[in-house]
Structure 1
Amino acid sequence: MTTPVYNPPAHVKDGSERTSDEKALEAGHLESQPPHLAGLPPDPDVDLTAEEKAEVDRKLLWKLDLTLIPWLCILYLLAFLDRTNIGNAKIDHLQADLHHMSTGKYNAALSIFFVSYAVFEPLTNIALKRFRPSIFIPLIMVIWGLCMTFMGFVTNWSGLMAARWFLGLAEAGLFPGINYYLSCWYKRSEFGIRAAIFFSAAAVSGSFGGLLAAAIVKMDGLGGRPGWAWIFILEGIVTVLFGIASVWFVHDFPDLATFLSEQDRARVVRRLKMDQQSSAEHEEFKMKYVWMAIKDYKMWLGMIIYMGCDMPLYAFSLFLPSIISELGYSNVKAQLLSVPPYAAAAILTVVIGYVADRTKRRGLCNIGVSLIGIVGFSMLLGSQKVGVKYAAVFLGALGIYPCIANTITWVSNNAEGSYKRGVVLGFVIGWGNLNGIVSSNIFQKAPKYVSGHATILGYMIVFLLGGSIVLDLLLVRENKKRRDGRRDHWVEGLSAKELEALGDMRPDFIYTL
């Protein structure tokens, strides 16, 4: 029996919209279905009108949002709080209490986190896919919560280094894992705003962390522990408790999620397949997915862009309390003054996520937002006036945080195939976080911090801005070739199953700009 061959149309639309083939399939007018629609479950709403289908879809999306997003935001808030609270501990005499730890040793303690964090990140999405999210995520949370708690009992630099190493190892699975996990639930045009809301928890944690640290350090001396130790102990215990609760609040992938009815599971799988995504269903892991990711130029450019915003992110988060305290404020007031820039960044992160989803121009959003950050760090580099530097801190935060979520969404949108997307996100995020080693060692000489601000500025101009411009131009060119039919020869003679396995290399897959 001859295997049917699928010939893609020469002219295709944006992947976030239904193509004419898909509409025809729904109407029952298409004999040969497009490859990404292979195995499409029966439509539970086949008898409904278009208006009724839209209402069902709206209610389903709202149900997903309320069930998934709030809890995941809390988890990432805790993760970011636990990895950056050492910056709050520093200005509460951490270095002096640990045998007058030198600046070099303190920076090494910051760096060691990013080594284990980055090394294990490319592997974690494979583990998340092979093991259920409802098991994997609670497990790593309990482990890093314990690491955080024990950090409050260290008495020397070696103990701090060990705790930070294991903290990075345990946290490695959360950020890439959750971004990959969310991409398995939402269409490409819906993912950006959700990823932005999720990542805004990082900015909120900066605000919350400053307020919390200002209150916790007042426990100084309680139980014979200094105030900075109680920051680690209390925040670690909270993380452990939320990790245990996550067994019930973190759900599995769409085809196995118990909070959905059988009909709703079918609806989620159908809407993702209509969006040219196959991530909603289980597939067997093969090494070919790793090689597909490694051979994809978009992954390497994504790594360049992401390092351009991730290194500045960690430098900003780890040293903001110190930067503000160098403006002449007391330790507590410095903690409190770190709150407003983070709050502003959280708001803009969500706004950019919404705008990028609606315009489908994630590259232009990256370019515009990065320019704000470039202006901010130029001001920090060029002025020593207190008012100017504090205003520059705002611009710096506004120019960094929205680009993190937007870049991850951009990369995810353009990597099709369940395991391939997981590997791509692991490499992109892992490489970005490896640059946290740079973040930990560039702020040396207070109060000007010339090397720190100049390095951040260079990263944002060359990698974030420059990389975004290059990737945007390349995707525009590639989309034009696909729409003109100049890639159709790639699939001549292939069966529908073989064509589906190509993922985003299918000629009818249109990249998100």
Structure 2
Amino acid sequence: MEKGAFPSDVDEAKLVRKIDFRVMPMLFAIYLVAFLDRVNISNALTMSLPDDLNLYGDRENVALLVFFVPYVLFEIPSNILMKKFTPHVWLSGCIIAFGVIMLGQAFVKSYGGLIATRFFLGLAEAGIFPGSFYLISFWYKRVEAQKRFTVYWSSVIFAGAFGGLLASAIANMDGLRGLHNWQWIFLLEGVASILVGIAAFFCVADFPQEASWLTEDEKALIVAKTRNDEDRDTTVQVSDVRDFFKDIKVYLAAIQYFTIVIPIYAFSYFAPTIIKALGYQTIQTQLHSVPPFAAALGLCLIMAVWSDRAGIRFPFILFGDLLIIIGVALMLSFHGTQHFSVEYLGICLITMGAFSAGAIIVCWVLMNLHGHAQRSIGSGWVIGVGNSGGIVAVFCFLKSDAPNYYRKGYWILMAMALVGTVSSIAYALVVYYERRQSRLRADEVEKELELSL
């Protein structure tokens, strides 16, 4: 078969459904429990955890911050290791590791113990998110990608909503078998992570060329239509890294993702705290943290379908940024004025805008990269730099700002939405210019061929 040729006897629609069934469900489950383990501390902080571990002042924020140090630093190395050890081995190992660490977090007795477990949790989770996106990008072509990226991304939103429901139930377990309710959160979710990790070893799909459940023609079709004919065993060279960082798009992409991650993490970690400040009790707080994430999930799925049908990403990212700006404006204008319904609407709009735009940004960026080298470096770089926004996010809503209704945090979110809008426009202009230049070069080559005949 010629390079790039499409096997004629393969039903492509049936093949895509087959891939969906084998690739997506396990990755969804993996990141659902991963993100749940990462942000469940936000629910625990509304319980007795601060008093039990003496989390006074900014200690809560520092505990959240520590997670991101290894999480950001090890994302690119983790992608390279996943390429070496294969996805089913690496991803399952990561999830089992952070499940064990989560069990340990249930029994910490001091602030220092919490810091230590949060650090190792970040180290164990570093490979999950960029590694999964990296893997998905090799299974689908551009027009198929957004819906699949969004399905995977929606595990984050589902975790936010499910975490609130689960925490509202676990809140009633305080004192059961001598454990506090916040300990039960970490304990139960840690056990769930280990079970998912064991299943992942057997169920995670590796790269298309290695899939034993595909025929040779099916493998050839996937490689041809996704234009990923590079051998997986090709080693990432220093020259690959150097060439990657010569491209201005990679910096604009990182800025885009950085600015959208800040509101994502700010509300993943502090939505219960913000809602509690509206005057709700613990269980009411957990329940009221669910609708913003449910609304975000709905918008994400709608935008994914429309984006794939239209074949464009840029306008949908701008729409997400606009929702964040409107939501923040509502919070700045009405927070503290007893307009609870308007404030709650602002929380919903910020959550919807951030999560829906984030899914599209990741797809837009990764599908503009080609081959194992670019995507292993690119997914780690963009998501790594972007996730450093979590460091900013954990200091957006401090206890000391509560009397001022967290105005500083909302102004940070407003600034990030504006910077994100500008970087998205700049990225779109560069992509348009490069594609235009590519078409012009192709036309010139075609004319030269015609003249030579």
TM-score, normalised to structure 1, is 0.83
Moved over 6 A (4+): 486-489
**1:419 lines up with 2:373 in the alignment:** yes
Call closer, same or farther: CA 1:477–1:188 in 2, change over 3 Å.
same
Q: 1: CA distance between counterparts of 2:234 and 2:139?
A: 15
- The CA deviation at 1:266 is 2.4
- The CA deviation at 1:43 is 5.2
**1:80 lines up with 2:30 in the alignment:** no
Task: Give the alignment partner of residue 452 of structure 1, picking from 389, 409, 412.
Answer: 409
Aligned-partner residue type, residue 466 of structure 1: V
Aligned to 2:281: 330
**1:203 lines up with 2:160 in the alignment:** no
Is contact 2:27–2:152 with CA below 8 Å preserved after alignment?
yes
Q: 1: CA distance between counterparts of 2:148 and 2:277?
A: 36
Q: 1: CA distance between counterparts of 2:286 and 2:113?
A: 26
Aligned-partner residue type, residue 203 of structure 1: I
RMSD, matched Cα: 1.8
- The CA deviation at 1:119 is 0.7
Is contact 1:125–1:173 with CA below 8 Å preserved after alignment?
yes
Is contact 1:148–1:236 with CA below 8 Å preserved after alignment?
yes
Gaps of 5+ in 1: 1-25, 27-36, 493-513
Q: Percent identity?
A: 37
Q: 1: CA distance between counterparts of 2:78 and 2:323?
A: 33
**Equivalent position SS for 1:295:** coil
Q: How does 1:189-200 map to 2 (within 5 A)?
A: 189-200=143-154
Deviations 1:134-164 (A, max 9, x none): 1000000010111111100011110000000
**Equivalent position SS for 1:79:** helix
**1:278 lines up with 2:261 in the alignment:** no
Is contact 1:184–1:279 with CA below 8 Å preserved after alignment?
no
Aligned-partner residue type, residue 271 of structure 2: L
Q: 1: CA distance between counterparts of 2:233 and 2:167?
A: 43
Task: Give the alignment partner of residue 441 of structure 2, picking from 467, 479, 485.
Answer: 485
- The CA deviation at 1:221 is 1.3
Q: 2: CA distance between counterparts of 1:281 and 1:303?
A: 25
Aligned to 1:294: 245
Is contact 2:244–2:374 with CA below 8 Å preserved after alignment?
yes
Q: 2: CA distance between counterparts of 1:270 and 1:361?
A: 22
Q: 1: CA distance between counterparts of 2:435 and 2:167?
A: 49
Q: 1: CA distance between counterparts of 2:382 and 2:7?
A: 38
Aligned to 2:321: 370
- The CA deviation at 1:217 is 2.1
Aligned-partner residue type, residue 308 of structure 1: T
**1:67 lines up with 2:22 in the alignment:** yes
Q: How does 1:116-195 map to 2 (within 5 A)?
A: 116-195=70-149
Aligned to 2:257: 306
Query: How many residue pairs were aligned?
Result: 440
Q: 1: CA distance between counterparts of 2:328 and 2:444?
A: 46
TM-score, normalised to structure 2, is 0.93
Deviations 1:283-332 (A, max 9, x none): 33322221122111111100000011001110110000011111111110
Is contact 1:253–1:280 with CA below 8 Å preserved after alignment?
no
Is contact 1:125–1:426 with CA below 8 Å preserved after alignment?
yes
**1:344 lines up with 2:299 in the alignment:** no
**Equivalent position SS for 1:245:** helix
Is contact 1:149–1:233 with CA below 8 Å preserved after alignment?
yes
**Equivalent position SS for 1:446:** helix
Gaps of 5+ in 2: 449-453
**Equivalent position SS for 1:103:** coil
Aligned-partner residue type, residue 482 of structure 1: S
Deviations 1:233-270 (A, max 9, x none): 11011101110111111021101112223332222223
Q: How does 1:87-126 map to 2 (within 5 A)?
A: 87-99=42-54, 101-126=55-80
Q: 1: CA distance between counterparts of 2:406 and 2:57?
A: 14
Q: 2: CA distance between counterparts of 1:180 and 1:235?
A: 26
**Equivalent position SS for 1:484:** helix
Deviations 1:201-238 (A, max 9, x none): 11111110000011112221123221001101110111
Aligned-partner residue type, residue 61 of structure 1: V
Is contact 1:180–1:422 with CA below 8 Å preserved after alignment?
yes
- The CA deviation at 1:465 is 0.8
Aligned-partner residue type, residue 373 of structure 1: I
Is contact 1:482–1:488 with CA below 8 Å preserved after alignment?
no
Aligned-partner residue type, residue 226 of structure 1: H
**Equivalent position SS for 2:134:** helix
Is contact 2:173–2:181 with CA below 8 Å preserved after alignment?
yes
Is contact 2:49–2:182 with CA below 8 Å preserved after alignment?
yes
Aligned to 1:471: 427
Which entry has the higher C-alpha Rg, 1 or 2?
1
Q: 1: CA distance between counterparts of 2:130 and 2:367?
A: 14
Q: 1: CA distance between counterparts of 2:132 and 2:299?
A: 21
Aligned to 2:203: 249
Aligned to 1:217: 171
Per mean C-alpha deviation after superposition, the further-off stretch among 134-143 and 279-288 is 279-288
- The CA deviation at 1:487 is 10
Call closer, same or farther: CA 1:479–1:44 in 2, change over 3 Å.
closer
Q: 1: CA distance between counterparts of 2:24 and 2:145?
A: 11
Aligned-partner residue type, residue 121 of structure 1: E
**Equivalent position SS for 2:402:** coil
